[in-house]
Every structure is written in C-alpha cells, then in structure tokens.
Structure 1
C-alpha cells in the first residue's frame, strides 16, 4: 500500500539579510529519510520576501549556490536597497501605527527582486532526496530584528484532479499597467475556492490558478498587495525598466553625473554601460546577463519573470484556517497587466487537485 502524503512544517532563523538555505538538508536533519519513499514534494513559503526557485531554474544553475548567488545578486543590482521607493516611505504608510513603522523593514527592493527573479510561494519538485531545494531569503534581518521564517513541505506520489472551472475577473481601470489583488473579497474568488474545497473532501492537495491561454500582456505572482508598492513602484519598474534602473541605481555606474537626462534618446549608450558593469561585477555568465538586459531594454513587452500560473497548497492540519489554504498573513495572489484587457475582464482556469 502506498504511503499517505506527509506534511512537514519548518521554522528558519536567517543569519543575514540575503541567504540561500537548503531546505532538503534541513529536512534530512529533522526527519532523516522519512520522505524518501515519495515521488514528488511541494514546498510552500509563507512570506513575500522569501521564496523558492523552480526545479528547472535550479537545474540550469547547476543546483549550486555558487551559480544561484550571483544570479540573485544581479537582480538585486537592478533594485538597490533603500533607493527611494514609495513602499519604503513610512510617512506615507497610513495603515501602520507609529510602533509598526519603527519595526517595518525598508524592503521594497526585496519585493521587487522576488518578483523579478521569478521566485515563487509554492514550487513542486520531482523528489530527489539528495538534490538541494533552495529557499531564497531576501530580507532576513532588519536593524536588530531577525525574522522567523516558516515553510511547509508536502510529500506525495501523484495527484488526482477533483474539479476544473473557469472564472472571470473584472479588471477595469484607467492605467495601462495595473495590479489586481485576487484576494479582494469583491471578486469572491477565495469565498468560491473555500466552498469548493469544503465540497471536495480534499485533505492535502493544491489549487492551480492559471491564466487562460488567450490572455496576453499579463502575469501573476504571490506577494504583498501594498498600495504604494503595487500602484507606484511596480508600475514604474514595468513601464520603462531601463529608465527605472538608471534612476534608482545610479550608483552602479562609475560616473552618475554623466547619465543623459533623456534616457530613451541614449538608451543604447546607457544599457551598454549597465551591461558592462553587470558583466564586470556579477560573474554569473553572459547568457543570464543578456536575458536580464533584454528585459530592461524592451519596456512593457515582458513582465520580468512573472508567471502565468500560481499554486496554493491545501491542508487539513490544525491551524491552517477555515479555508484550509496555506498562505502567509501578507500573501495575496496578484494579477499584473501591462496592457488593458479586452472587455475589462481576465479569465482564469482553476484546478483543484488531491495529493495521494
């Protein structure tokens, strides 16, 4: 008889702001070979500035910290720390008390790096016990506060499709680049998911949310839907990535005062200098730098590394919550478009799966 799916919950105390942590190693330390019989494993981060890279990306980077580290640092150079982001202007954060503003980290760069690097709240790996699974921490320490991070792991052998459906999300708005919080009660999406989970009898499984094939100029991520971040910082980065980088990261260049005022008129000049700086400072390989700069030099044609698909884990474990969806306090599925939708509607395909 095949073993039933197993769920583990791990707590991580990062030692520095940016860290690459092998979750597979932590699992071996805590439970030994308990997960070895399973063919697959799903990993879920409960955070918006710490997440996972997909197995395919990890493979292309050799499953190696020596390759992953410079890849992430290349993205961090695009979004420098404390570079005047709206999200970090605490005087504008009316939702926070004075005490919360003191503890709130300056971390817009970490949110944007998470999105740009294609990190995910949830990834599924073909389970190879000796292969590393990296948890990428982007904001582990702020001042003297050390974060306590939480991640869940579900090991299983296969999935069964329980239900498929299609939903429409109204995305009316006057902005060409806009972000929409799919957790907003006005959409009714999470209320619908909770009811379908209740009817499905799924103990452990997942919800796959995928953009319909016909949807264009749009992507998804799971992150914090904070107004200044999503309505100011992210749209500015997407509307003209090269200009954004040069304005936010002038200190990357040797002679900031020589940057021309009309960025587009000198785009080739600026991007060449930025490209050379990255090659000199980040030994990650020309192909990866080429891919990063190609995104920067083609405004609004690609949404960095936003995905067309996100996954949410489902659990019957105590403390999960009434809807049984594993998610952190500040996590929201977010739909980001860089051109208006035809008819003001985006279509999502929803699949509920049971782990067995």
Structure 2
C-alpha cells in the first residue's frame, strides 16, 4: 500500500533582501527524514518575489550558493533597485490605500527579476537527500525588517493526469500586451475548480501551459498590478536593458554617488555581466 502524500508548511525569515534558504534541509531539521519516504516532492511558494528554480536549471547551476549567485546577479544588474519603475511610484497606485502606501515595499526590480530569471511559484523535484532545494527570495527585507515568508512542501509517490482542457485567451491588437488569466471574463479559474470538483481531487496541481507554436508568448505567476504589468514589464519586453541603462545614467550624472568610479563602471559593463551569466550556465 502506497504512503499517502504528506504536506509540510514552513515559515521563513529572510536574512537579507536576496536570500537563499535550503528548504529540504529545513524540513529535515524540523521533521527528520520525512521526505526520504517519497521519490518526489512538490515545493510551493506563496509569494511573487520569492520562489524556486526548475530542477533542471537548478541542477545546471549546481544547486550551490556559489553556482546560483552569478545567475541571480545577472538579473539584479539588469533590473537594479530604484531605477525609475512606475510600480514603485506608490502615489500612482490606485490599488493601495493610504495606510498600505506606508508599508508597501518598493520592489518592482524584484518582480521583474523573478519573471525574467524563470523563478516559479510551484515546482516538482525528484528527491535527492544529498542535494539542496533552494527557496530564493528577491525581496526578503523591507525598510530594514525581514518579511514573513511561507512555503509548502508536499511529498508524494506518483501523480496521474485526470483531466486536460484547452482555453482561448483573447488579446488586444497591441504588439506588447499582458493579461491576467484570473480575469473572471475568461472563466479559467471557474473551469479549473469545476474539474477539481468533478474528479474529486484532494491533493494535486494545476499546470498551465501554452499551446505548441506559441513562441511569442510566455506565462508567469506574479502580481497583476497595472503599472508593473502594463508599463514596467512592457518596457522590459521592448528594451530588456532599459532599467539597467537608466540606473547607470543616474549614477554617472551624480559623481558623488560613485565612491569608486572604476568599480562602478565595471559593474554596469554589459559584457562583464553577460559573461557572468554564460559562466553560471556553463555555456
């Protein structure tokens, strides 16, 4: 008789704005060898600036801090903190109350890095007790205080596909556009819930994927805030290095903000930054 899936929820307190936490080790410390009974485990993040890399990419980066650091550094250089993002202009955010504006983090760079680096809110790993599984936080500190993070791990033996559906998502005539699949007009969430109910699924996952041939589109799980998705992300799609160049221009315009010009010029040297990514991916 197969063992029933086991679910563990962990609270994580980041130590820095960008932080790596070995969740498999954390589970072992708090629950012993619980996951060793299962050949697979699903890892889920409840956040849009913290998540996991796909196991194949994580393996390529050696799943070590030193291996992940250059990869994450590349996207932090492309999306530097405080580079003039509309999402960070809180007075323009109609989704926030005055009280929320007082505590809302300025984290557009973290959202864009999460999307561009291929971080995911939910991944499945084949279990290896000797290999870490990193929860990667890109916005772990807000105004000097650690944010409260939560992740869930589900150990399981096998999974079975019980249903498959196809939906059409209407797009505008704009060459660059983003839409929220949660929009009730599409009815996607309602259809998913109906399938879950019909098949009596108690432990499982929903997988959304583009149809074959959709080479000019992408999917990501992230906050659908208008300024972030329809301005900042659109700008990135038109000019991927726009915010990197904007931050560099501001630094050079104020020499007092550059204590060591040589180092900072190198920091914003695209050749060096790109080479770091190539080295990290072992291309």
Q: Report what 2:179 is aligned to.
A: 180
Paired positions, count: 270
Q: How far apart, in 1, do the equivalents of 2:247 and 2:282 lie?
A: 20
Q: Is the 8 A contact 2:177 2:230 kept in 1?
A: yes
Larger strand percent: 1
Q: What are the within-5 Å matches in structure 2 for residues 38-187 of structure 1?
A: 38-171=38-171, 173-187=172-186
Q: How far apart, in 1, do the equivalents of 2:218 and 2:278 lie?
A: 26
Deviation sequence 1:20-65 (CA, Å, 0-9, x none):
1100110001110111111111100000000001111111111110
Q: Report what 1:337 is aligned to.
A: none
1:285 is displaced (CA, Å) by: 6.0
Uncovered stretches (5+) of structure 1, i.e. residues with no partner: 258-272, 292-356
Q: State yes or no: 1:194 paired with 2:201.
A: no
For residues 250 and 20 of structure 1, do their structure 2 counterparts lie closer, same or farther at Cα, with a shift above 3 Å needed? farther
Q: What are the within-5 Å matches in structure 2 for residues 1-356 of structure 1?
A: 1-171=1-171, 173-250=172-249, 274-278=269-273, 284=276, 286-288=278-280
Secondary structure at the aligned position of 2:205 is classed as strand
Q: How far apart, in 1, do the equivalents of 2:232 and 2:120 lie?
A: 20
Q: Give the alignment's TM-score, normalised by structure 1.
A: 0.72
Q: Is the 8 A contact 2:52 2:120 kept in 1?
A: yes
Q: Report what 1:298 is aligned to.
A: none
Deviation sequence 1:316-355 (CA, Å, 0-9, x none):
xxxxxxxxxxxxxxxxxxxxxxxxxxxxxxxxxxxxxxxx
Deviates more, 1:224-233 or 1:8-17: 8-17
1:250 is displaced (CA, Å) by: 3.4
Larger helix percent: 2
Q: Is the 8 A contact 1:24 1:130 kept in 2?
A: no
Q: How far apart, in 1, do the equivalents of 2:277 and 2:112 lie?
A: 22
Secondary structure at the aligned position of 1:216 is classed as coil
1:277 is displaced (CA, Å) by: 4.0
Q: How far apart, in 2, do the equivalents of 1:54 and 1:115 lie?
A: 13
Uncovered stretches (5+) of structure 2, i.e. residues with no partner: 255-267
Q: Is the 8 A contact 1:39 1:156 kept in 2?
A: yes
For residues 81 and 161 of structure 1, do their structure 2 counterparts lie closer, same or farther at Cα, with a shift above 3 Å needed? same
Q: How far apart, in 2, do the equivalents of 1:175 and 1:244 lie?
A: 22
Q: How far apart, in 2, do the equivalents of 1:193 and 1:66 lie?
A: 40
Deviation sequence 1:202-225 (CA, Å, 0-9, x none):
110111111110323000000000
Q: Is the 8 A contact 1:79 1:249 kept in 2?
A: no
Q: How far apart, in 2, do the equivalents of 1:111 and 1:193 lie?
A: 26
Q: How far apart, in 2, do the equivalents of 1:193 and 1:286 lie?
A: 39
